[in-house]
Amino acid sequence: MKQVLLMLFACLAALLISGCSNTKQPSLRALKSAHVTTFQSQADFENYMEGMHQLRRYRETERSKQLSERYPEGVEFIEVTGSRIDSSDLSITNNQVDNVDEGGIIKFTGDYLIILRKGVIYSVKITENSHDLLYVKSKIEINQSSWNQDVWYDELLVLKDTLLVLGYNYGLDASQLLRFNLGSQGEITYRDGILIKSDDYFSSSNYGSRIINNKYLTYLPIELTSEYSNQRKVRVLPQFARITDKGFSALEWQNIIGAKDIYKSLDMQLSPILHTVITCDPLTVNFDCGGKAVVGSDEYEYFVSNSAFYLWTSILHEDRLTDFQYWGLETQTVSRLFKVPHSGGVMGTVKVKGKPSSQFSFMQSEDALHLLTVSEEHSIPEISALLYKLPDILFGQSSEGIVKPWREWSVATQYINNRFTNEWLVLGEGLYRDEIETRHFGKLGSLSLTHLLRDEQLTFDLPHTVDRIEPIGEKLFVSGVNLQENYNVSIINLADRPSIDSEGVFDSFLEKENISHAFNYKSVSDNYGIAGITALNKASLTEATEDDLSIVYLGVTSNAAVSLAGQAKAKVNPQTFVDCEVSCSDWYGNSRPFYIGNRVFALVGDVLIESQIIDDQVIELERVDYVHDLHMH
């Protein structure tokens, strides 16, 4: 078999050399713009696409020549691809930005909680005539029976009595955005939906959809070309289709944006992505949508503020275009940040150095965008953290010039965890859990605080990794695991001169999900608050099962140990969703702590649990199995 593969490769290489030897290097000037501008016409965009395909063919030809010269007997190639499907009181979500609601698995509107669970939407009534209650009212299968489509639904948002669900249709390679109506009695009915051609939008930590000022916003990436010859993209503009009574057999596709809505690339790319921001008005009858897009790198991170969509992308050094063994995925020291205003104004851009670790590396203040980046190990002799203050005036229309960081300092590793507060940048240099045995106790995690207004920087050595950093009022909730693999919490008081206020160690559980929505905090009094986390019993881990879920409530008191305040437990029912074919798992998890007024709630798998705070303890009041109890009424 190996000999056959070698012969096939030799034939392929000879064919490429003979058939493509006349392929010329395209003009690079035509593949990037010197300033911010959109494509002027469909022909202008298609010329760019043809130039990118020509560049790809040229690189493939030259790469094949070099390989055939270096390996005259041939080389075996194995290509592996994968897919996920194979293997305010008005918001109860721990959102990154005030007044920017993020897509999640549970939302609150009027008298109802709305839950998204494995492709089903449930409504649970929690108030009636100002009286508290807990009663399962309705459910609806998202995938309508006539659709027969492979769709996974991940994110839920609510706006008044309109429910919005975002999913990805793998059969059509399209994001699927659906609207449902919530009736006065809690009944849920399907209204309409649209499909938007895109690559899979999902991220393990960022969220694909937001609601800002009653508008729905979603980010959709679209791969324009590929380094692999068998993956030439036929579709070049994002298209959408309305779902009608005729179902998916009669979809009428049309462009959701035109070439004049797409900003040209300011830098050379090998595998460009059309970074698309779609904005819809979910309260209009026709579900009107539009968008903007920018051509950029396939290495990116994005952040959504109250006023703009920010996109960070890497920049490819043009020397790489003639390095025919280079396959991408190497960040250079210089990178680019785009700003796309929600108001529809012109996009701006700046050049910076380094790479943000996540969307939490961004914070928008009144006068500037704060950005933290970290240099890559290969780029300079010493790894650096770079803190930028970027006022609006710096986002210009030219691709020239690199902004100097407001502050720069050395860090031990490029794998950091960070959050911003109103006054501080908090940076954790924790290690992965499988590396903790290499560190000395007391030096396991390092936490630095950099003030955003004055020249002040503090460092704390922690006895645990830095897996989670959460602002809680004037304090920080920092958690991880210690050398004994116990769950460890440190509370940092930010008032006056920051200091470690209290700590807690717990040996019976570990945090199940580190994403932002799996944490929530409630201030009970001036000196006491309750933090909720998703947790797994450590005994469950040794049995290789995750059916023993709970929400753990931790009491946070000034100058006192962090204590166990309560635990809302539930066993996952193995018979739930036994006939599931799509959306068979919840990508962002299935458990959440949250608070509404003085009420304390826990979503744990199939169960919704309400508790109350009595003498600083969280005591269970009532629970409903919202998946199964509905059939009993």
Tell me the per-residue pLDDT of 358-389, one tens digit each, with 9 for 90 and over.
999 999 998 899 999 998 766 566 889 999 99
Handedness of CA 324, 329, 335, 338 (dihedral sign): positive
pLDDT on residue 211: 96
CB-based contact 510:479 (threshold 8 Å):
no
Q: Is pLDDT of 264 > 90?
A: yes
pLDDT (mean) for 115-144: 93
pLDDT on residue 445: 79
Task: Pick the range with the lowest mean pLDDT from 24-33, 328-337, 393-402, 470-479.
Answer: 328-337
Q: Is pLDDT of 332 > 50?
A: yes
CB-based contact 267:256 (threshold 8 Å):
no
* 3 state DSSP class of 271: coil
pLDDT on residue 18: 39
Q: Is pLDDT of 81 > 90?
A: no
pLDDT (mean) for 191-211: 87
Average pLDDT, the chain: 84
User: What token pair was written down for 509?
Assistant: 């559980």
CB proximity list for 34: less than 8 A, separation 6 or greater: 266, 398, 399, 400
Other CB atoms within a 10 A radius of the CB of residue 426 amount to 25
Q: Is 616 left (phi over 0), alpha (psi -120 to 50) or beta?
A: left
Tell me the per-residue pLDDT of 34-80, one tens digit each, with 9 for 90 and over.
899 999 999 999 999 988 888 888 877 877 777 666 656 554 443 33
DSSP per position, 316-371: --GGGGG-TT--S----SEEEEEEEETT----EEEEEESB-SSGGGEEE-SS-EEE
Q: Is pLDDT of 320 > 80?
A: no
pLDDT (mean) for 412-424: 89
Rounded Cα distance between 608 and 606, Å, is 7
Q: Is pLDDT of 266 > 50?
A: yes
